C-alpha cells in the first residue's frame, strides 16, 4: 500500500472471528526503487451480532488498546482494560469503556451525535485509583438525548445523605467541557468523565452558575442525563424498595413511595408528596429495626404502617386508638421525633423523623407526652391509615 494511502485503509467482508493482518507501507524512492516500512500487525475481531446477542468487543484482547466500532445496529460495546476507543455508529448503543482512559463516540467517529439515545455505562471496576484516576472522554454527548449511567458503581451503603452523594459526584466546567468527578468513600477522586465541548450552560441552562451541587445532580437525574442505581429516583413518581441489608433510598422529585427493608435504612423522599412505607416483611425477626426518614414534611408526606397496626376482630376501634395502642413517641438525643411501633405479635420497629422537632415543628410544649406527639402527627395527616386519610 502506498504510504500516503495508509490513513484510508478500509477492510470489508471479513468473516466472524479473529483476523491478523500485516500492513506494509510502500514508497517510491527518487531512483525509482521501492522502500517498504516494517510490517504493522493489526488484529481484527469481527462479531456477528446475530450470534453475540448484539454485543461487540467481548472477544477482543481485554488488556489491549482496542478500537471497537459498530455500524447502524443497536449494540452493546465493551472496551476492556486498555485505553480504548469505542464508536457506536448510528444505532442506540450502550458503550462500556471498561478500565483505562477511554474515548467514547455514541455516534460516528468525528461526528456530532446520531440523534438517538446512547448510554455510557460505568461500573466500580472501571474506575481508577486515588493515585491514578481514570479519565474517560465522551466526544459527542447529546444533551437531552444521551445518558451517563453509573449503575451500581456508587455503593449506597456509604451514602447516607444528599451531602454524602454530593461528596461523591462533583460537576464542574473545565476548558469549555463539563467535568464529572467521582470520588470514593474517602472523598478521593477515582474517575473523571469529560463531556467534550458540552458546557455547564448546555447542561443546566442560564442559571448554572447559581446552582448548588444538589441542584445539578437533581437536574441531571430528572432530565435523564444521569442514571444511578435503583436506590435513586427522578422527577417521576418512583417506587423505591430497600433490600434487607440496610440501604439509603433517595426519591428526589416526584411523589415517591419508599419501602423500608429489614436493615437499618435511611429514606430521603426529596420534593413531592412522598409515602414512607413499612410492611410486615420490613420487620426483622431477631431484633428491632431502626430506620430514619431524613426529610419528612408535615402536611405533605405520610407514613404508612397500616400492616403493622392490625386490629382484626375489633372494627369498633378508632384509627387513633389503634395508633396509640401500637405506637409510642418520644424525642431522641438530637431533638428529633422518634416512633416505636410494636405489632400484635411483639415485633418492633423504630422510626426517626430526622428533621421533625415536636416543639419547633408541631407546636407542642417541651416534654410533651407520647400521646401528645402521636396526636399531633395524626392531626398533621402524617399517617396513612386508609385510602383517603
Q: What does pTM read for this prediction?
A: 0.81
Pairing of strands 337-342, 348-353: antiparallel
Identify the pLDDT of residue 288: 83
Region label for 363, one of left (φ > 0), alpha (ψ between -120 and 50) or beta (otherwise) = left
Whole-angstrom Cα distance, residue 247 to residue 291? 10
Residues 6+ apart with CB under 8 A from 117: 92, 145, 146, 147
DSSP string, 230-264: TTB--SS--EEE--SS--EEE--SS--EEE--SS-
Identify the pLDDT of residue 96: 95
Identify the pLDDT of residue 140: 97
CB 232 within 8 Å of CB 213: no
What stretches in the chain show pLDDT beneath 50? 389
H helices within 66-113, ranges in order?
none
Pairing of strands 177-183, 169-174: antiparallel
CA atoms within 13 A on the CB side of 253: 14
Please name which of 364, 374, 312 lies closest in space to residue 343, comparing C-alpha atoms: 312
Enter the C-alpha cell of residue 305: 404502617
Instruction: Please list the residues that pair with 212 across neighbouring strands.
Output: none
Identify the pLDDT of residue 20: 80
Amino acid at each position: 500500500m502506498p504510504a500516503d494511502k495508509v490513513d484510508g485503509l478500509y477492510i470489508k467482508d471479513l468473516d466472524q472471528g479473529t483476523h491478523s493482518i500485516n500492513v506494509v507501507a510502500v514508497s517510491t524512492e527518487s531512483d525509482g526503487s521501492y522502500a517498504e516500512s516494517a510490517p504493522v500487525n493489526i488484529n481484527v475481531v469481527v462479531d456477528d451480532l446475530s450470534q453475540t446477542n448484539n454485543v461487540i468487543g467481548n472477544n477482543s484482547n481485554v488488556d489491549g488498546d482496542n478500537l471497537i466500532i459498530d455500524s447502524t445496529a443497536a449494540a452493546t460495546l465493551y472496551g476492556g482494560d486498555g485505553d480504548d476507543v469505542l464508536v457506536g455508529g448510528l444505532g442506540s448503543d450502550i458503550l462500556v469503556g471498561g478500565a483505562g482512559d477511554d474515548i467514547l463516540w455514541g455516534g460516528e467517529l468525528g461526528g456530532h451525535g446520531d440523534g438517538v439515545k446512547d448510554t455510557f455505562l460505568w461500573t466500580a471496576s472501571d474506575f481508577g485509583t486515588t493515585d491514578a484516576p481514570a479519565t474517560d472522554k465522551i466526544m459527542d454527548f447529546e444533551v437531552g438525548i444521551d445518558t451517563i449511567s453509573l449503575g451500581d458503581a456508587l455503593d449506597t451503603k456509604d451514602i447516607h445523605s444528599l451531602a454524602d452523594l454530593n461528596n461523591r459526584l462533583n460537576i464542574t466546567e473545565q476548558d469549555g467541557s463539563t467535568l464529572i468527578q467521582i470520588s470514593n468513600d474517602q472523598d478521593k477522586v477515582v474517575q473523571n468523565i469529560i463531556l467534550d465541548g458540552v458546557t455547564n450552560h448546555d447542561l443546566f441552562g442560564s442559571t448554572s452558575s447559581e446552582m448548588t451541587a444538589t441542584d445539578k445532580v437533581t437536574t441531571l437525574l430528572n432530565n435523564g442525563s444521569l442514571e444511578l442505581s435503583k436506590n435513586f429516583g427522578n422527577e417521576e413518581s418512583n417506587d423505591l424498595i430497600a433490600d434487607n441489608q440496610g440501604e439509603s433510598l433517595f426519591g428526589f422529585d416526584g411523589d415517591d413511595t419508599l419501602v423500608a427493608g429489614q436493615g437499618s435504612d435511611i429514606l430521603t423522599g426529596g420534593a413531592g408528596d412522598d409515602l414512607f412505607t413499612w410492611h410486615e416483611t420490613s420487620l426483622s425477626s431477631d431484633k428491632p429495626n431502626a430506620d430514619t426518614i431524613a426529610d419528612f414534611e408535615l402536611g405533605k408526606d405520610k407514613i404508612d404502617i397500616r400492616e403493622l397496626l392490625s386490629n382484626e376482630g375489633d372494627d369498633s376501634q378508632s384509627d387513633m386508638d389503634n395508633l396509640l395502642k401500637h405506637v409510642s413517641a418520644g424525642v431522641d438525643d438530637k431533638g428529633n421525633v422518634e416512633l416505636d411501633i410494636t405489632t400484635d405479635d411483639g415485633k418492633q420497629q423504630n422510626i426517626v423523623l430526622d428533621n421533625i422537632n415536636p416543639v419547633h415543628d408541631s407546636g407542642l410544649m417541651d416534654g410533651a407526652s407520647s400521646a401528645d406527639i402521636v396526636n399531633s402527627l395524626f392531626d398533621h395527616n402524617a399517617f396513612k391509615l386508609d385510602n383517603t386519610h
